[in-house]
Amino acid sequence: MSPEIIARYKNNVVLIDLRNSSEEPTLQVIGQLLNEDLDQGLAVRRISDVPRRTLLSRITDHYREVLGNKAPISFDAEFKHSAGEKIFYRGILLPFSDNGENINFIMGAIRWISEEEQTLSQKSPLPQKTPLPKLSIRQKKFFIEEKTPRPSLLRDDLEKCRQLVQGQNVTGSRSRQSLYLALGEILRFYETCCAKPEEYQEILTAEGLKSQKRAPFTPALKLCFGKDYDKTRLTEYAAALAFVQKNNPEGLSMPDFMDRFPGGIKGCVKAARRGHILPKKRPEKSMEEKQAFLDNMPSLASIDMTETLSKNLKSDDKICLMIARKTAQKIEIIKILEQDKKRLDSLLNQIVKAL
């Protein structure tokens, strides 16, 4: 792909670096619009640093699918942004290799429009931009098209799930990651089915299956794995899907959730059978709230500020970081550090959580 083509989408693009297979993938390039959406002063460098429910996370959540498929993927959906907005988006991920086998880089691009903007413009849920440049047949097949996407059909989603389950679009080995990837796609398929109950019922009837109120995930799993698939496995997968659906408020992809949860899928199944529910993550307090919290804490000691100590402090600084030396009877202040918002915010978080 030429630089001229990439230049048109540079503000909406991210480049994922996978050259070091022993370490977590890094983000080498982040488009300006995606960077602004992060609302952070720091450049994101690792996949795990990407904040949840941001536009960038909509791209990075899919990178494992490219590794499994060893081919480009495209996707379109909607989600609730961290700012509370409902966003419609369409994205693509393109793998790049220097030897035709190992994927060294993945380039992702995304376009979006908010529900409010859609209502005001009275247009398609996805933005209409300038025409795409001339692409090869392969690129045309996977690159973001400018036309309004057709409605997602359950049959198409089901076929995608079956391909992942049967190993047609995954690496040869039935690895744990490929299973997690397939289960994640099945969970999305099931949630789409819930939004289209009549179409879902038609598929179940055609496949000789029935919906089950007490085990709602089981029919969807049978559609994907087959009616004769091992019942014990299906029961475990259903328990894992139910647990993830109830305990994934951050919207992590299935592979990421399973990787972070102790025991992986087995741990999820055990937790589901015990009726365990993960504690909800409390919303993080703003810097002003944290400072107000500290203002109400009693002081342990006070000292008079000298010019030597105060030279690194601005007149409006209410909180400062300092290095002190502990002796047998005293604590001696050695240095007051310059303000570092990142470090200060991290320490304030620890203090607030500990009290």
- Predicted TM-score (pTM) of the model is 0.43
Q: Please name each of the domains of the chain with its CATH number.
A: 1-150 (3.30.450.20), 152-281 (no CATH), 294-354 (no CATH)
Average confidence (pLDDT) over 280-299:
67
Q: Which of 81, 89, 165 is nearest to 126 (CA)?
A: 89
43 token code pair: 């450049």
pLDDT digits (tens, 9 = 90+) for 20-40: 877 888 888 888 888 888 766
Q: Which of 290, 294, 340 is nearest to 313 (CA)?
A: 340
pLDDT digits (tens, 9 = 90+) for 65-96: 888 778 888 888 887 887 778 888 888 999 99
Residue 264 backbone zone (phi > 0: left; psi -120 to 50: alpha; other: beta): left
pLDDT digits (tens, 9 = 90+) for 161-171: 888 887 644 44
Q: Which of 111, 58, 110, 114 is nearest to 86 (CA)?
A: 114
- Give yes or no for a contact between 349 and 294, defined as CB atoms under 8 angstroms apart: no
Q: Which of 51, 41, 43, 50 is nearest to 340 (CA)?
A: 41
Give the chain's end-to-end CA distance (angstroms, integer).
54
Indicate if the pLDDT at residue 286 is higher than 90: no
- For the chain, strand residue ranges (E) read 13-17, 26-30, 73-80, 86-96, 105-114, 322-326, 331-336
Q: Which of 102, 150, 93 is nearest to 126 (CA)?
A: 150
- Give yes or no for a contact between 113 and 90, defined as CB atoms under 8 angstroms apart: no
263 token code pair: 């025991």
Strand partners, 123: none
Write down the number of H helices and E strands in the chain: 16, 7
